Structure 1
Amino acid sequence: MGTLQPPARSEVQISAADATLVGELTVPESAGNLVLFAHGSGSSRHSPRNQFVSQKLNDAGLATLLLDLLTRDEEAVDVRIAQHRFDIELLAERLVHATQWARRNAGTRQFRLGNFGASTGGAAALVAAAALPRDVGAVVSRGGRPDLAGNELPRVRAPTLLIVGGEDHVVIDLNEQARAQM
C-alpha cells in the first residue's frame, strides 16, 4: 500500500487583457476537479480563510487555484481609495481569463471547474459562471455579495451554493434577493 504524495504546488502567472495575475495552483494526486478562488475585497490568495478552505479541498482530492484578481499596484491603490474592490466587471473578466487559462493548461484542461468566491469575489464568481456556462460547473459563494452580479444572475446555469453567517442579517437578505433572481 503506497503513501499519498503531497499535492503538487506551483506559482502560476496568467495573462489577462491588461494585467498579469499571480496565483497558487495546487494539484493533489488523482485530482479531477479544479476550484478557482475569487477572494473578496481587502483579501488575497494568502488569506488564512482561503488557505484553510483550499487545504480542505486539497485533502478531499480537489485541485485549487488561489488567485489574486488585482495586481500588486491595483491592490495598493484599492487599499487607499477602494477603487477596484467593487468593480465586479473587472474581477469577473479576470476570473474568466483564469478559467480560459485552466482550459488551455496541460495539467488542468481535463478537470471539471468550479468557482469559489468570498465577499465581492462571490459576485465575480457568478458573473464569470454566467459568461462561461459550459466551463463552470458549480459556484460557491461564502459571505458573498451575489447581489452585485446584478443582471447576470438570471444567466447563471451552474448549481450555486450561497453560504452566509447566521448572524449577518444584511448579507443574508442580499443573498436571498439574489437567489430569487437566479
Structure 2
Amino acid sequence: MATTKWVVDPTHSEVQFKVKHLMITTVTGYFGKFNVEVATEGDDFAKASSILFTADVDSISTNNEQRDTHLKSADFFDAANHEQVKFEGKTFEKESDEEYKLHGNLTIRGTTKPVTVNVAFGGIVVDSYGQTKAGFTVTGKINRKDFGLTWSAVTEAGSVVVSDEIKLNSEIQLVKQS
C-alpha cells in the first residue's frame, strides 16, 4: 500500500500547555508556530511510519510579554540556543476506535526523553474544498525538570511559584496530501 502524507492545517490547530502558578491558578501558554507531518499506510494512523511535531520556542505566548520573555530565556526554554521543541512519534498504539497512545521521544532544550501522550481520534472528513482532513486531540503530562527547565522560586510564605508538572493539550487537524 502507498504511503500517505499528512500535514498540519495551522488555522484549525492549536498547541497549548498549562502550568500551576503559586499552586492556586493555572496559566495557559501557546506555541504560535508549529508543524506536524505524518506518514501513514493509506488512511490508517495506527500504521503511521513517521510522526514529527516541531514548535518554535520563540513563538511562545502566555498573553504576558514579561512572562513570555522569561520563558524564552536561559531560565526555561533557552530559545537563543534551542530554537525548537520536537516530538518524534515511534508507535501509535490503538486502544479503541477513537483512543490511542502515542509513544515517542520529546526533545526540549537539547534533552530527549521518552514520552507517551493520549490521542483521541476525531475522524476523517472531506471539507467543502475537497480536502481530506483528520482530527485529533492530544493530551499528556510531563515534568519540566526532566528537560532542564529547572528554574524555581518560593514565595516568602513558602509557596512554590511554578509547578513541575506541565499539562499538554493540542487540537490537531491534518490535511491529506495528494
**TM-score (structure 1 length as normaliser):** 0.32
Name the structure where helix makes up a greater proportion of residues: 1
Which entry has the higher C-alpha Rg, 1 or 2? 2
Q: Which has the higher contact order (CA 8 A, sep 6+)?
A: 2
**TM-score (structure 2 length as normaliser):** 0.33
Name the structure where strand makes up a greater proportion of residues: 2
